[in-house]
Amino acid sequence: MTKTAIITGGGSGLGQSTAIRMAQEGINIAVVDVSEKGGNETVEKVKAHGVDAIFIKADVSKAEEVKKYVDETMEKFGSVDYFFNNAGISGSGKYYLDTTIEEIEQIVGINLLGALYGVRYVAEVMLKNGGGAIVNTASSAGVIGQDSVVTYSATKHGIIGLTKSMVAEYAKDGLRVNAIAPGPTETPMVKTFFEANPQMKENATSGIPQKRLGTPEEVAELVTFLLTSKAEYINGEVIRIDGGFTSTK
């Protein structure tokens, strides 16, 4: 039977690239995003590879909308085999004491609560069907400490805790949960962030041993590998994909 993947933040960047890459493997895709424009664009690109796809508009920071995207995927495709739990925002790039409580709540709500809700509802349907595979998007900032991203970094460290602890509870039941920790990757999110903070772009590139940013396609390749049966014995891992950035810290 054709497998199905849910991809949050599927309307842009890492989510869109992964949707296209997984479609090339013959996997049906449920694209979840707040952006209708981005989500519909991904659906079109995915369908061009001959698989089926739907766009589900949902804000991952709202538990009821998370439940809704899982229910709608089940109604449409009958299973959720793979989950790329990826939607996230970066924040303003200010020092922590210059950030507002609203910004802290927004980043935690989307990046951490959104990811926790996603795993909560997706793992439930996966376990009823005998298991499945999840990849959570962390970040270099989830592996090391960095200035100007304190709240973001806290949420991404949280993603790694979620990943490892899910394995402790459910690996025996057929669930695989891994995390990726990309360094700066050329997506719209990073372009916007670096446009507002040009000095940080220079610092970021010069601090990467390979002296370039990553590409969304490179990340999509890793996620597809981790989600599909080729990675059947990889569980609870955090795979860094950052041109050597965190290895030199």
Ligand X SMILES: NC(=O)c1ccc[n+]([C@@H]2O[C@H](COP(=O)([O-])OP(=O)(O)OC[C@H]3O[C@@H](n4cnc5c(N)ncnc54)[C@H](O)[C@@H]3O)[C@@H](O)[C@H]2O)c1
Q: Which stretch binds ligand X (CB under 6 A): 73-81, 177-185, 194-202, 232-240?
A: 177-185
Q: Give the binding range for ligand X (CB under 6 A) out of 29-37, 75-83, 97-105, 120-128.
A: 29-37
Kindly tell me which residue out of 12, 28, 73, 148 binds ligand X, with binding defined by CB under 6 A: 12
- Would you count residue 18 as binding ligand X (CB under 6 A)? no
CB of 73 or CB of 185, closer to ligand X: 185
| Nearest distance, CB of residue 43 and ligand X, angstroms | 13
- Out of 69, 152, 170, 233, pick the active-site residue: 152
Taking a C-beta distance cutoff of 8 angstroms, is the pair 20, 51 a contact? no
3-class state of residue 135 by DSSP: strand
- Distant-in-sequence contacts of 37-45, Cβ < 8 A, 24+ apart: 37/11, 38/10, 38/11, 38/12, 39/10, 39/11, 40/11, 41/11, 41/16, 42/10, 42/11, 42/15, 42/16, 45/16, 45/19, 45/20
221 is a contact residue toward ligand X (CB under 6 A): no
Q: Is residue 190 near ligand X by the rule CB under 6 A? A: yes
Task: Tell whether residue 34 is a contact of ligand X (CB under 6 A).
Answer: yes
Q: Which of 91, 118, 132, 184 binds ligand X (CB under 6 A)?
A: 184
Q: Which range, of 48-56, 119-127, 187-195, 222-230, touches ligand X by CB under 6 A?
A: 187-195
Query: H or E element: which one contains 224?
Result: helix 216-227
Minimum Å gap between C-beta 5 and ligand X is 15
Q: What is the C-alpha separation between 134 and 152, in angstroms, rounded?
A: 21
Q: Active-site residue 152, yes or no?
A: yes
For ligand X, the binding residue among 7, 15, 56, 243 (CB under 6 A) is: 15
Distances (CA, A) of 143 to 117, 133, 158, 192, 249: 22, 22, 10, 23, 10
> Is residue 151 near ligand X by the rule CB under 6 A?
no
Helices marked H in 78-215 = 101-107, 114-128, 150-170, 188-196, 198-206
Contact 217, 21 (CB under 8 A): yes
Please give the positions annotated as active site: 152
Q: Which parts of this chain interact with ligand X (CB under 6 A)?
A: 8-9, 11-15, 33-35, 38, 59-61, 86-89, 110, 137, 139, 182, 184-185, 187-190
